[in-house]
Structure 1
Amino acid sequence: MQSGIASPTSATINNPDYPKPTIAWFTVAVLFIAYIFSFIDRMIIGLLVEPMKADLQISDTEISLLQGMAFAVFYTIAGIPIGRLIDRSSRIKIITVGVCLWSFMTMVCGFAGQYWQLFLARMGVGVGEATLSPAAYSIISDSFAPNRLGMAMGVYGLGSAVGAGLAFIIGAAVISLVASTGDVSLPIVGDVRAWQAAFLIVGAPGFLVAAVLMFLPEPARRSTTGQPVTTAPSSEVLAFAKSRKGVLLGIFFGVGFVNLSVFAAVSWLPVLYMRTYELGLSEAGYIAGGAMVFAGFVGLLGGGWVCDKLGGQAHHRMMVSAVAGVGGIIGGFLFPLMPGPIGATILFIIFFIACTTPVGAAISALQQISPNTMRATLSAAYLFVVNIVGMALGPTATALIGDTFFPQAEGIRYAMAIVAGFGFVGAVTLFYMTARRLKSDAEGAVTPANAASA
């Protein structure tokens, strides 16, 4: 039986049971702030590579395991059961607990004095952060009609770019403040190294975010016809996934290859500025962070707006991702190889716009083709693939290529170009193929509910 997606109908677009726009956008705003802090806590380590290496006497490859593997493995392993729990329980309560957990574990990183302690703490950060996006995707999808979903998802997804950029900017500010002494004295904690202080400072505000989250309303779960729904059994989830495996794998691995590129680049971007262009740590953090925030606004908000203007259907979103990905190929291969920091930054911005565009577009497409009864579960599966391919492999693949084939001080630039460029080649191929498949499915006008029983 041919499977497809439901086109937006008047019932879904004008459904009076959706939350009021002010409530819906307030919910997005709070989730956006939570996402910012999740990425600050996740990415701060990228700016602290050099001081951590000096204090702990570890290699680029060992640092990359803290950036990727330690976080991503438990983030992804915990994601599937948490996704099932989200489909069955209060999404707001689960996110609130998760924010408290990852904030606490980020602060624990600040007390670590040995490599293994940092590794275990990063695992805890990953488990906590596994609660946020599957629940947020489900909540946002229940708060906006399909023709408004792209912009809403883009705003939420913007938290990743803003958070990663702010991680570098805040980290640079902390390092700059204590540059003359090498240590900082904190109340209760006492004297700590600058990189330890950075973890403590960025982890603490998460508890305030959790307090605000507790008061968010829980939107009603609804089907593609706007009606309340119950949770699908595992057998139904598997049947749907099997019926749409080509599309799901295209979305999952397409974004996975984007993540491979982006983590290969972003995890080592301040290091590139310091080793290749001989910038100071604080200067590298400010430039890298500012470029990411600017490019994130363009890619996520611009990409979401374009997708919605084109009609808001899933195949439009994937085609926009494919077209943007061409810029990712060009920027990924070239920005690390530029002779000066200005050219590198301009091309990195082009690259990062391409990286952020699919963040809102692809996940919006996934929500549109997924029955609400299993959205969080499928989102968790999506995050499993995306983060194993991207977060777990991207930083480490870059470090291993650099340590093995380009051991000179600035050799990391060549490793970044290889991984970032070829990652986008794979992503564009999958996005284009998935867009064509989705367009064909849309012409069949088969609903997700029917596809699940195909």
Structure 2
Amino acid sequence: MIFPKKAVSDPPLASRQNAAWYAVVVLCLALLLSYTDRLVINLVVDPIRTELALTDVEISFLQGAGFALIFALAGLPFGRLADAVNRRNLISGGLLIWSLATICCGLAADFAGFFAARLAVGLGEAALVPAASSLIIDLFSPHRRGTALGVFSLGATFGAGGAILIGGILLGWIDAGYFKFLPIVGELAPWRQLFIAVGLPGIVMLPLLLLISEPRRFNSSGLMPVSQVLRRLVADNGTVLRVCLVKGVLAIGDNGIFAWMPTLLQRVYDLTALEVGALVALAVSGSGATASVVGGALSDSVARRWGVEARIVLLLGCYALTVAGAVVLYFAQSGSQAALAFGIWAFGSIGAYVIGHVVMQEKVPSEMRATTIALSLATIGLVGIGLGPTLVPLVAGRVLEGPATLQSAMALVGIVASLLSFVMIWPPVRKSLLALTTAPEQAG
């Protein structure tokens, strides 16, 4: 007797949803590690500067340009690659590279060696967000993408705050001699031990990444030619291109403030590394986590009620919050007030990042999503990370005078970046507002 073959079907819905959220959680952890490895340098600026005999501007190159140069240049090729190959494997390779490079930062003997290691960190991390964002979009329906990307973005939020908190805790343990028993490593300077300690978890995490299944790319007709990509970027009043650009401009304020906040709290307000870590972690992780989840969920709610085109309007509120945070920072009189200002800034900035992320992904087809995200990250790298940390000491040293020049420079860089972002995004926002006032409310 011949039995009919069973039709091959997709996995049950519950199983697909569990797999999708597993991928989001693991990718969120990878993003957390990437931000920790990228930003922990901000906690040990003075020890590095003293041992390697560097200036503040040279330190800013290690914080920003050394990472941003390759992060930006490699981002677009990795984005194109992520639109064509297995995204999970691409992310895994990037994780291995940046983790090993972070360890090499702790072994650097001079500025050139440190700079080369930071370039390698940027190379590895350039693969993560374009591939992960594209993968997550293909795992979720349009009305759940904002929430999913918001949860993914928690990795950046907790990584940014956690880099300083975890770094402060580790430095406390190192100073107490907890790692002296380790051969070779135990004899290194505390800041060197710190880089090695934060680089190791990425290597341990690789097996978790390899358990993620590569999802099917929906509505994809293959890798899109560059000419078509460019046409998509400038279509619809250049919305996608404008969002990419404002991400970079606002990132000038992000990186200028974040890169120098730990140094400000230590130099000006005499806080310890652990106190700095706790304050920065509370400010960034608390407000940033709320902004990631609320921003994504609120944008989904707006999309259900008024359509996906309405999401972009929320960016105006985000920029208003970053201006408010920078103004509070300018007038801050204590470390806790400066941290509060940073929290206000982070709420607006991270909310803008999540919402802008979804806006871009919904404006382009599947076959250029990773490329689009890579373009925005290249802009963030070249403009934001490349300029932000360096602009602050330049403004403080050449424009301002007085004992509070570092704090004032951080605030002024943030205010200008926010206002420029508002001006650049206004045309597509205005178009969306006009459409909302003339069209009937959409049913959810």
**TM-score normalised by the chain length of structure 1:** 0.88
Is 1:295–2:280 an aligned residue pair? Answer: no
Alignment of 1:338-349 (within 5 A): 338-349=332-343
Aligned equivalents of 2:314, 2:139: Cα separation in 1: 24
Aligned equivalents of 1:183, 1:148: Cα separation in 2: 45
Report if the CA contact (8 A) 1:221-1:372 is conserved: yes
Stretches of structure 1 lacking an aligned partner (at least 5 in a row): 1-15, 446-454
Which residue of the other structure, out of 189, 195, 204, is the alignment partner of 2:191?
195
Alignment of 1:315-354 (within 5 A): 315-354=309-348
Is 1:387–2:381 an aligned residue pair? Answer: yes
Which residue of the other structure, out of 37, 41, 45, is the alignment partner of 1:41?
37
Is 1:254–2:246 an aligned residue pair? Answer: yes
In the TM superposition, residue 257 of structure 1 has moved relative to its aligned partner by 2.0
Match of 1:372 in 2: 366
In the TM superposition, residue 419 of structure 1 has moved relative to its aligned partner by 0.3
Aligned equivalents of 1:425, 1:345: Cα separation in 2: 22
Aligned equivalents of 1:235, 1:137: Cα separation in 2: 23
Which amino acid in 2 is paired with 1:327? L
Is 1:423–2:425 an aligned residue pair? Answer: no
Which amino acid in 2 is paired with 1:65? F
Match of 1:164 in 2: 160
Which residue of the other structure, out of 134, 151, 160, is the alignment partner of 2:130?
134
Match of 1:452 in 2: none
Aligned equivalents of 1:247, 1:178: Cα separation in 2: 49
Is 1:152–2:144 an aligned residue pair? Answer: no
Change beyond 3 A, Cα 1:210–1:235: same
Match of 2:7 in 1: none
Aligned equivalents of 1:407, 1:128: Cα separation in 2: 40
Which amino acid in 1 is paired with 2:115? F
Aligned equivalents of 1:54, 1:315: Cα separation in 2: 52
Change beyond 3 A, Cα 1:65–1:141: same
Match of 2:299 in 1: 307
In the TM superposition, residue 440 of structure 1 has moved relative to its aligned partner by 6.4
Aligned equivalents of 1:172, 1:409: Cα separation in 2: 26
Which residue of the other structure, out of 48, 64, 69, is the alignment partner of 1:52?
48
Alignment of 1:182-221 (within 5 A): 184=180, 186-187=182-183, 189-221=185-217
Whose relative contact order is higher, 1 or 2, with alpha carbons under 8 Å and at least 6 apart?
1
Aligned equivalents of 1:140, 1:212: Cα separation in 2: 16
Output one character per residue of 1:388-423: Cα deviation in whole Å (capped at 9) or x when no partner.
Answer: 111111111112112334476642111101101111
Aligned equivalents of 2:222, 2:15: Cα separation in 1: 19
Report if the CA contact (8 A) 1:329-1:424 is conserved: yes
Change beyond 3 A, Cα 1:383–1:17: farther
Aligned equivalents of 2:343, 2:326: Cα separation in 1: 10
Which amino acid in 2 is paired with 1:352? A
Which structure shows the higher helix fraction?
2
Report if the CA contact (8 A) 2:310-2:436 is conserved: no
Please tell me the root mean square deviation across aligned C-alpha atoms, in Å. 2.4
Change beyond 3 A, Cα 1:197–1:76: same
Change beyond 3 A, Cα 1:217–1:82: same
Aligned equivalents of 1:18, 1:280: Cα separation in 2: 48
In the TM superposition, residue 322 of structure 1 has moved relative to its aligned partner by 1.3
Which residue of the other structure, out of 107, 113, 120, is the alignment partner of 1:111?
107
Aligned equivalents of 2:106, 2:15: Cα separation in 1: 40
Report if the CA contact (8 A) 1:275-1:410 is conserved: no
Match of 2:6 in 1: none
Is 1:231–2:223 an aligned residue pair? Answer: yes
Alignment of 1:63-82 (within 5 A): 63-82=59-78
Report if the CA contact (8 A) 2:303-2:309 is conserved: no
Report if the CA contact (8 A) 1:158-1:296 is conserved: yes
In the TM superposition, residue 434 of structure 1 has moved relative to its aligned partner by 2.6
Percentage of matched positions with identical amino acids: 31
Which amino acid in 1 is paired with 2:160? A
In the TM superposition, residue 209 of structure 1 has moved relative to its aligned partner by 2.0
SS class of match (1:186):
coil
In the TM superposition, residue 245 of structure 1 has moved relative to its aligned partner by 6.2
Which residue of the other structure, out of 268, 277, 280, is the alignment partner of 2:269?
277
Aligned equivalents of 1:156, 1:102: Cα separation in 2: 19
Change beyond 3 A, Cα 1:431–1:410: same
Aligned equivalents of 1:335, 1:58: Cα separation in 2: 27
In the TM superposition, residue 183 of structure 1 has moved relative to its aligned partner by 8.9
Aligned equivalents of 2:347, 2:356: Cα separation in 1: 14
Aligned equivalents of 2:103, 2:435: Cα separation in 1: 47
In the TM superposition, residue 189 of structure 1 has moved relative to its aligned partner by 3.5
Aligned equivalents of 1:393, 1:27: Cα separation in 2: 33
**TM-score normalised by the chain length of structure 2:** 0.90
In the TM superposition, residue 345 of structure 1 has moved relative to its aligned partner by 2.2
Output one character per residue of 1:239-288: Cα deviation in whole Å (capped at 9) or x when no partner.
Answer: 32243462123201222122111111111111111122121222112211
Aligned equivalents of 1:409, 1:103: Cα separation in 2: 38
Consecutive aligned runs of 4 or more in structure 1 exceeding 4 Å deviation? 16-19, 180-185, 406-410, 438-445
Aligned equivalents of 2:31, 2:391: Cα separation in 1: 26
Which amino acid in 1 is paired with 2:422? V
Which amino acid in 2 is paired with 1:425? L
